Copies of this chain bind each other. A is one copy, B any other.
Amino acid sequence: MAKFLTSKEENYAQWYNDLVIKAGLAENSVVRGCMVIKPYGYALWEKIQQQLDVMFKETGHSNAYFPLLIPKSFFSKEASHVEGFAKECAVVTHYRLKNDPGGNGVTVDPAARLEEEYVIRPTSETIIWNTYRDWIQSYRDLPILCNQWANVMRWEMRTRLFLRTAEFLWQEGHTAHATREEAVEEANKMIKVYAEFAEKWMAMPVIVGHKSESERFAGALDTLAIEALMQDGKALQAGTSHFLGQNFARAFDVTFASMEGTREYVWSTSWGVSTRLIGALIMAHSDDNGLVLPPRLAPLQVVIVPIYKGNDGLERIRSRAGEIMKELRAAGISVQFDDRDTRKPGWKFADYELKGVPVRLAIGERDLENGTVEVFRRDTLAKETLPAEGIARHVAGLLDEIQENIYRKAARFRDAMTTRVDSYEEFKRLLDEKGGFFLCHWDGTAETEALVKEETKATIRCIPWDAPVEDGACMVTGRPSRRRVLFARAY
């Protein structure tokens, strides 16, 4: 088989970029830092969206849509938010073009300058809380549980397809509650939804925990995150859920009449995942032959490739394939029959491996005689010849097995790459030699955190939710610590 890709070992970053482009997922566009999501990549995003949307609705949320543009002044209303967000973003200053007087196409019409500039949303807390003010009068109007599927834009300097792009697609949940407890519970609930989605659908084990204060979302009192480990030993933050306290309610003056008749500020959360998940999915599972997709998110789960000479052979194989497809589709499995005569079977095999189709069936004329089918599974690259009888049932089971196997493999890797370290010297050495997650004691100060980041480029990914209480000494300062936190270099 022709190798399409740079190998992972040789150059992980190049392998990733090659894979995204050659599998037809996305490409860079002519617009700085913005990507084009190609049909195969978008199909993957649709699968992600569909399942998350079901999970959001099951937890009581509704979708809504708020404006793309945000008045510039909104960003300075919440003090820490402006520090974190308002700086690198696209600013709309005019609302009209006109023909260039010199005949050179079009030019911005200076007469059409906006009185107040708009910013293309980098996130929507400000515009949404400005809107919620009119929706909330009393406790009877609460909770508000809204989600938005939208594009957002952050003028990133260094971009990488899916992982960090100026424009990206995401969902952002924004909820409003009468009590602190209810808002905290909501933030916790949604990070659990993300963790469940990552593990059960993306087959990607994650660690759930709190961000340290310096890594929190701008404007949050607490940020929860799910952290996954990529195959190069770097961490990737795959989703966050924020407890925002009353910060945005205060900034936008959103109050409600409580059951007791007092006037209170509303409590809030926000939570989001983005097209970055596609990058995570690729880097968690794929190999030098191409994508390895978990069956539950694969746009195409099964492909049937005929191996034939002449038209008669093809028609006999088509008829056998038709029966199998009918059974698979009845079981809710997506399947295609690739009868293109412009490509040889070997080329097709390599192409479907590149695209990560979980199961490939090949049927040749000999198989027809013998009543067999060749079954290839993408995760292990194993091939076996099986009776055609009952093949659909077998494939259905195989898809489940692949889903589990991909998860187990990633979990084994993650466990093997998680190291408990007590000395800063060892930490620095293993960070370079091995990489991965490190569970270390930390004195809880932003100074120590900043020092580690400066010296090693590793950051505190999270303070794991399930970290047991364990007395120890900060690996850097020796000061006392009561639990280990998760360090890693990250995307």
What is A's interface to B at a CB cutoff of 8 Å? 27, 29-31, 34-39, 41-43, 45-46, 62-73, 75-76, 82, 86-98, 104-108, 117-120, 127, 130-131, 134, 140, 146, 150-151, 153, 155, 167, 169, 342
Contact = CB atoms under 8 A, between A and B. Distances in A.
B130 A30 contact: yes
A82 to B, nearest CB: 6
A147 to B, nearest CB: 9
Given A30-B71, A75-B105, A105-B73, A65 B88 contact: no
Nearest to A31: B67
Residue among A42, A67, A108, A342 with max Cβ neighbours from chain B (10 Å) = A67
A63 B92 contact: no
A328 to B, nearest CB: 18
Contact of A167 (B29, B67, B88, B97): B67
Contact of A97 (B36, B38, B119): B119
**CB-based closest 9 A-B pairs:** A76-B105, A39-B62, A37-B65, A34-B67, A91-B94, A31-B67, A95-B155, A93-B93, A90-B92
B90 A63 contact: no
A96 B36 contact: no
A46 B63 CA distance: 9
Contacts of A117: 108
A128 to B, nearest CB: 9
B36 A66 contact: yes
Contacts of A89: 95-97
B342 A68 contact: no
A459 to B, nearest CB: 25
Contacts of A127: 29-31
Contacts of A88: 95-96
A153 B45 CA distance: 24
Given A34-B67, A71-B30, A167-B67, A95 B106 contact: no
A75 B93 contact: no
A131 B36 contact: yes
Nearest to A61: B39
A75 B106 contact: yes
A91 B82 contact: no
A93 B96 contact: no
B106 A82 contact: yes
Residue among A36, A41, A43, A71 with max Cβ neighbours from chain B (10 Å) = A36
A73 B108 CA distance: 11
Contacts of A27: 134
8 contacts: A36-B64, A39-B146, A72-B105, A87-B96, A89-B96, A90-B95, A91-B96, A92-B120
A342 B140 contact: yes
A91 B92 contact: yes
A41 B64 CA distance: 8
Residue among A65, A130, A134 with max Cβ neighbours from chain B (10 Å) = A65
Contacts of A69: 31, 34, 90, 167
Contact of A70 (B31, B36, B62, B146): B31
Contacts of A45: 65
Contact of A43 (B62, B67, B93, B120): B62
A113 to B, nearest CB: 10
Contacts of A169: 65
Contacts of A37: 64-65
Given A67-B167, A105-B75, A62 B42 contact: yes
Nearest to A38: B64
